[in-house]
Amino acid sequence: MHAYTHPLQRRESERRSFGGAAPVSDTGAPPLAPLAMPDQPLHRAAEPRRFGPEPGLGRRRAVLAAFCALATGLAVFAVTAAMARDGLDPLEVVHVSLILVLFGWMAFSFAANLGGLWLSRRADAWERAMAQAPLPALTSRTALLAPIYHEDVGPFFARLATMRAGLHALGLTPMFDIVVLSDSRRPEVVAEEQRGFAAFRRGGVGPRAYYRHRPENIDRKAGNVAEWVRRHGGAYDHMVVLDADSLMDGLTLWRLVAAMEADPSLGLIQTAPTIVGRRTVFGRLEQFANNLYGPLAAWGVAWWSGAEGNYWGHNAIVRVAAFAQAGGLPHLKGKKPFGGHILSHDFVEAAFLRRAGWGVRLAPALGGSFEESPPTLIDHLIRDRRWCQGNLQHLGVLGARGLHPVSRLHLARGVLSYALAPLWIALVVTGALLSAPDAATGEAGGYPLAGAAVLAVSLAFVLLPKLMSYAMMLAEGRARRFGGAWRALASVGLETVASTLTAPVIMAAHTRALLSVALGRDAGWSAQQRDEGRLSGRAALAFHWPEMLIGLALAALGPAMGAGLSPWLAVAAASLVAAPFIVWWTASIARGVRLRDAGLLLTPGERPTPPVQCEGVNSFKPSMPETISARQASRPAVAGSLNSRMPTMAVPTAPTPVQTA
């Protein structure tokens, strides 16, 4: 039996909770342009690729595999040789097996970062060329799809207004449409969205704007986009899929469409979004890490994936015809949380596009793509719970016939990103147990020197990419954007300490999430928390008391076995016990602002004043519907652009009114 249901099976839907109230009718709905988009079987033969082989990509992958095999083999051999002098007992076998998996994971990431550093310096790389190529006149039509589900309406439409103004300033109004796809269920929320849309539609110039609300939330965001393709996709060549917190530069959108027009074999181009607009300590830590380390990590993924890239579900351009041909997702066999519709749909859609012969690429050199991040660690973990369930569903997709091996690797890494959490905890625990004195002979224990050396190398695999990113920042002359070389280095140190303290908390929470999924508990579908507010210590304690208990158990483990606390065990235990305090402390806006004012954790665009490119990201919350209209009417169209490099000669001599259906 295949692990999917019949394609004609009726999709489970989340009904709107309108009660006895009459649904509010849609306004400005897009015209119908049907396009066939059949559900794809999980198992089918791969189609020939539509693009030619990329020179050197095979050698890159061979080097990556060789490095991982050699480094991991040496690590396992060293630890095994040190422990096997009197034979390996079961605990030592378990410990060595954990090192095999975890060291291999870190070796892969480190080697990918090295490859990314090499690729980023090559002027002839596709990733560099597409970000610097001359901008041609566009001939295709593109829809900006903006899904919304119980979001704060003001910031949502403010971001769309900024994108609309940027496209108008470039003279691209005829080539783009903006489509709001609502899945909200409460009538008062839908009514607020429609009032916001009416104000947005009246309040500026630029591409046509549409709004559509679904009567039933079938298959969540993936189903929302798929339904739009089936009903309206025939009118467009491309679609740029956004999230509710997405913001994209008009010039970036131009380059994405130009790249798709230049290469008809491409099915999808994924940008590397930059986190902006955060003020809490946790949010600023995430924002700094994303801005400084993210580019190198993105280059690393591009280095080994090539045209077998991945999709992250937003801030990406997709060829509509390719998506209609290959992107229809089946339901997985069985009940939730493993069965049903696929939550982490983006990875699977990318794999299906590649199986159909389309190229899927990452564009790490292309800036102008922005998003927000959860404001607190609790919000981050709540989101991770949903992602964990979605990624574990990929276990039912990994064996699908016809998938490219690199697509399988993307899926496997998504599963392992959560499944490794209990293995890290097990590594710390088994290391502590091996360090304890022998209960039978009374001989003093001690972790072998070779094992300590392997742990030191693994630590270097984690820290060196941060220093490489810092060096890349200096080489590219971007230090001033991060507060200067010394302040940026201090910020790297602060972020490293913070990530060290929060890593055990995240691992423990991921382990809880895995157990929850294994017990059959569905994560449901709730709107993501984006607003920064006050988090009480009581709320932090209520959420993280299980981590505190785990930390107390780890702290008691070493002394109970007759050994002291190892450094690894001590750090893990201390951070888990202090989890509520860490979460509460890092949720503070005031502390985050003080760090920013001190020049720490600065990111590009924050000094001396935030540029227009970040406007609309968690910074503009008008009361609907009047304020957006007044704000947009009070500034020139070019002032709404997202990028100061925007050519002013592209501004039309007369404003183009917003057209609606």
Measured CA distances, 523 to 25, 209, 329, 382, 526 (Å): 30, 33, 20, 9, 9
Length of the chain: 661
pLDDT in tens, 346-377: 999 999 999 999 999 999 999 999 999 999 99
pLDDT-based confidence at residue 620 (cuts at 50, 70, 90): very low
Measured CA distances, 251 to 164, 289, 657 (Å): 12, 25, 20
- Other CB atoms within 10 A of residue 553 CB: 13
Contact 577, 556 (CB under 8 A): no
DSSP character for 537?
A: H
pLDDT in tens, 160-170: 999 999 999 99
Q: What is the mean pLDDT of residues 120-142?
A: 95
Residue 51, judged by CB atoms within 10 A of its CB (0-12, 13-18, 19+), counts as middle
pLDDT of residue 653: 26
Shortest CA distance to 200 belongs to which of 240, 277, 144, 249?
A: 144
Shortest CA distance to 290 belongs to which of 309, 302, 304, 277?
A: 277
Which residues are within 8 A (CB) of 612 and not within 5 positions of it... i.e. 6 or more apart? 162, 639, 640, 641, 642, 644
Shortest CA distance to 155 belongs to which of 205, 208, 196, 207?
A: 196
Measured CA distances, 585 to 278, 508, 543, 615 (Å): 15, 19, 14, 27
Listed in sequence order, the DSSP H helices in 306-365 are 320-326, 345-355
What is the rounded CA–CA span in Å between residue 149 and residue 183? 5
What is the rounded CA–CA span in Å between residue 532 and residue 523? 23
- Does the pLDDT of residue 621 top 70, yes or no? no
- Other CB atoms within 10 A of residue 630 CB: 11
Residue 137, judged by CB atoms within 10 A of its CB (0-12, 13-18, 19+), counts as exposed
Contact 491, 602 (CB under 8 A): yes
What is the rounded CA–CA span in Å between residue 89 and residue 329? 47
pLDDT of residue 88: 81
Contact 576, 505 (CB under 8 A): yes
pLDDT in tens, 455-498: 899 999 999 999 999 999 999 999 999 999 999 999 999 999 99
What is the rounded CA–CA span in Å between residue 394 and residue 223? 18
First to last CA, the chain: 46
Shortest CA distance to 323 belongs to which of 362, 298, 286, 354?
A: 354
Half-sphere exposure of 106 (CA within 13 A, CB side): 21
Report the largest interatomic distance among the alpha carbons of the chain, rounded to a whole angstrom.
90
Among 15-24, 105-114, 249-258, the least confident range: 15-24
The helix (run of H) or strand (run of E) holding residue 623 is none
Among 136-140, 144-148, 527-531, 657-661, the least confident range: 657-661
Amino acid making up residue 104: G
More confident site: 140 or 453: 140
Q: Is 592 helix (H, G, I), strand (E, B) or coil?
A: helix
pTM score, whole prediction: 0.87
- Does the pLDDT of residue 315 top 70, yes or no? yes
Contact 514, 357 (CB under 8 A): no
Give the tokens for residue 394.
Answer: 């990929």
Give the tokens for residue 26.
Answer: 């849609």
